[in-house]
Structure 1
């Protein structure tokens, strides 16, 4: 005969099992999903120096995202970045100066675009009658877009093998590394490397630009520290994601557009350590700008004395909108605008940080390029090209 336990015996058995279940639960490891929000997070402390001070190792829950952050879905690093490994390794083996003594140094113009180049006619005038042994042109064109009309003139046949780029991802910085690698491999005489946008225009003649750049032994790259939004950008991948390679006090921000020496171009393509951090996907889209962080941080940490800490591409952030700088329209273009942009002084890093460095405080390098200009401003620009822009 089968026996069935009474309700009273079942209740007593349940009471006896509950403590055992509780002990097993608190001693069992949490699943990865349950521990994803845990880690060691160095948080800024109050102070005048704005630096992060090390905390003791304590496991804490990650703080909630600051107000205004836009949560982005986690994504693995884009596969196109991994595919560049062999290209970058090959470019990293290129010597520091393999240029024959009889050949002049070349300035590499590297355009990163997703559209046909609206100012190609102006650039054609810029390069007109310039000896080809003084420069090279390279174009990174996102293959997802239609380039009609196709690249012609000085840009014909200058498109490197390109891959998709997306804002708020590491792909823009990866594209710039790709341009540097191809320029290093293509011509041993490339000595300086200028990264430009499709909405950039020249502010001077080729001769003036070439002389200014080649007379410098420093890279023209903006390196800013202590910016109010620096911590959010450093923590865009997670509050400890950049550690230990990039501490908050070493993190720098700067313009995406720069002119690098050959030495620094080689440093960029050979770097694996810092790129492994900056290529990580961001958790917060509105603070994710690797192209404005990676190059400035890398060169600031590796060779700060070899940088001017300023960009020579002028941009107006006073009229910015939605994270973009002011866009000059056709109605803004005239001789007065060009002269104003020429006469402005670059910002040489952070004034307090560089105040004791006379090599920076006494500099007044001329802006060589400017952005952003609307495509419809090409007509007024062409009208003043020969008599203003390209005339010294």
Structure 2
């Protein structure tokens, strides 16, 4: 009996030791697991928020070669996440944007590869627009498409510009009936009836829906190609209207008529805000030189680029369309707002002066100036 008791006690002690070892192993395992989970939780809490793809604005530049205002645009895009914008440039075929041709990394390699030679006053200008849109539409996150010239500059910060454009579900297209004789070619009828003939600015902002309409158009564009041809214009044509001569070639100014007329043809005019966001001046108030008036808009040189000029553009809150006796009051998010986010035509020296004097408000703090 004593031997059995000793054996039983020894077995009991062994069980207790085994239990203790298992308990310690379990506790140690729990401690390691907790430590791992804690590290994972701490890593999650300390890591930056996950990348969220937002709707983007595609900035579509139509340039001859270089972008003379690249320094201004570099400040405009500085510090912004790439998930809010994309850039496409139509320049002459073969021109590359790299360290040798631009000072802004935002423009490196942003030229499109299927660009064409563009001739002013010809349908090739609207073909360039269509090519830009085709490339930009390949990115499914591009929701707004802003056309800009190489002489355009931004008036406000990127944040203000982004919110302004995205807050309006419509395209920004200044469009009005063009009653001036000599522009509409009767040969366009019946494909483009005269009651759908519209005029406006080339510098439009399109929604994705309207951008797709432009790219997919195979009816209106061929008519512009066939019947829009450049012809010489007398100097100071605004002071001396052209005589009506139906037998001569019509100058229908395709880049100022195509998008507006196309949207009218498609019955989409209710989906546009009928004004442009890019300011253009045809007469410089401070200049008495007649050579600075004519077919082309005013070019602001360094001496013209003053804070007063920029402020006068920013202060515009309505636009009057004389041919329709219509005044368009500008608004954003349902509230009164200034009319323009961009302005042209500025030389490189003018842009650098405005940038150095902090007149444009293109930094992130510029939203306060809006």
TM-score normalised to the size of structure 2?
0.70
Output the CA distance in 1 between the equivalents of 2:108 and 2:281: 31
Q: Report the equivalent of 2:353.
A: 380
Q: Report the equivalent of 1:245.
A: 191
**Residues 1:315 and 2:275 aligned together:** no
- Farther-moved stretch of structure 1 (320-329 vs 368-377): 320-329
Where structure 1 has 5 or more consecutive residues not aligned to the other structure, the ranges are 1-100
Q: Please tell me whether the aligned partners of residues 318 and 329 of structure 2 are also in contact (alpha carbons under 8 angstroms).
A: no
Q: Please tell me whether the aligned partners of residues 334 and 384 of structure 1 are also in contact (alpha carbons under 8 angstroms).
A: no
**Residues 1:177 and 2:142 aligned together:** no
Residue number among 59, 76, 80 corresponding to 1:126 in the alignment: 76
3-state SS, counterpart of residue 182 of structure 2: helix
Q: Please tell me whether the aligned partners of residues 330 and 337 of structure 2 are also in contact (alpha carbons under 8 angstroms).
A: no
Q: Please tell me whether the aligned partners of residues 223 and 254 of structure 1 are also in contact (alpha carbons under 8 angstroms).
A: yes
Quote the offset at 1:349 in angstroms. 5.3
**Residues 1:150 and 2:101 aligned together:** yes
Q: Report the equivalent of 2:150.
A: 198
**Residues 1:292 and 2:265 aligned together:** no
Quote the offset at 1:336 in angstroms. 1.8
Quote the offset at 1:332 in angstroms. 1.5
Written as runs of structure 1 = structure 2, the 5 A alignment for 1:138-287 is 138-143=88-93, 149-151=100-102, 152-161=104-113, 162-185=115-138, 187-227=139-179, 229=180, 231-235=181-185, 240-283=186-229, 285=231, 286=233, 287=251
Q: Please tell me whether the aligned partners of residues 310 and 349 of structure 1 are also in contact (alpha carbons under 8 angstroms).
A: no
Superposition RMSD on alpha carbons, in Å? 2.9
List per-residue Cα deviations over 1:309-350 (Å, max 9, x = no partner): 100000111246331111111111122222111111353756
Written as runs of structure 1 = structure 2, the 5 A alignment for 1:355-366 is 364-366=337-339
Q: Which has the higher Rg, Structure 1 or Structure 2?
A: 2
Quote the offset at 1:386 in angstroms. 7.0
Output the CA distance in 1 between the equivalents of 2:329 and 2:310: 30
Number of matched residues?
285
Quote the offset at 1:158 in angstroms. 0.6
Q: Please tell me whether the aligned partners of residues 333 and 377 of structure 1 are also in contact (alpha carbons under 8 angstroms).
A: yes
Output the CA distance in 2 between the equivalents of 1:219 and 1:123: 23
Do the aligned partners of residues 297 and 119 (structure 1) sit closer, same or farther apart at CA in structure 2, a change above 3 Å counting?
Answer: same
List per-residue Cα deviations over 1:86-124 (Å, max 9, x = no partner): xxxxxxxxxxxxxxx952110000000102111101100
Q: Which one has a larger percent strand, Structure 1 or Structure 2?
A: 2
TM-score normalised to the size of structure 1?
0.67
Q: Please tell me whether the aligned partners of residues 122 and 382 of structure 1 are also in contact (alpha carbons under 8 angstroms).
A: yes
